[in-house]
Structure 1
């Protein structure tokens, strides 16, 4: 099954600029609300997005983010109202290859089953953006076992994740 995230022209560039602002050493985050279309393939199309700011976090460091409970609740409510899946995006501003850290993996193992339950078993996606590229994971039919995102289509540009994080997930 092929998995695709489709964004209108300019949206990925806008989000990437927010996630990796020039000179910043803090991780940043954003969320997409996407329409999940799952049949033979899985296609996720953007409905809307939110760029998060300092007031949305309990902790915002160079290597760790923690959302405020109010932020998480607001995002879940909006996804529920839109009947949407959520795509979380965060940045790794350092010079490393794009991939989820061990801390990210621990957080996703806790967060994804909760989101899966709260959003009526809708798929959940996570993307980490680094200066060198991005990596992505998709929980399509199991909140404990991700699969790779095959492609991110931004306007007419097709981008591929590094897939550095899928190996050794278990």
Structure 2
């Protein structure tokens, strides 16, 4: 608040000084130079706070604007939401592929983070009564299309599930 008061006082003082100078300058070419000079003095007075600003990097501004803990919490929520969406979409995809093979099943899929916060399918559990042929075809499709190798794919019948 003090800086604003100081700035307003300097602008007011510059305006009064310029008005007095304009009143004392005789008409003619000298008055035009005087108006130009008064305009420059007013511009300097108005823009003086900008000279005292230091350059701030966007990351510094973000950190000072919002506490780091909140940013991290939002990133964690975003990651968890993305993981949940990917798991649901991939599970629905596998159920659809099984239906195309003529099998009805339920799928539990777990994702794991890979690299830059990207979640990829990691482990799949398919529960349903699939024939060996259907299971083999589904295993191959899961491996080829979702990148989950057979050793991380589990199959259970509805009777075996808890």
- Fold conserved between structures, TM > 0.5: no
The structure showing larger relative contact order (alpha-carbon pairs under 8 Å, at least 6 residues apart) is 1
Q: Which has the higher helix share?
A: 2
What TM-score do the two structures reach when normalised by structure 2?
0.25
Structure whose alpha-carbon radius of gyration is higher: 2
Q: Which has the higher strand share?
A: 1
What TM-score do the two structures reach when normalised by structure 1?
0.24
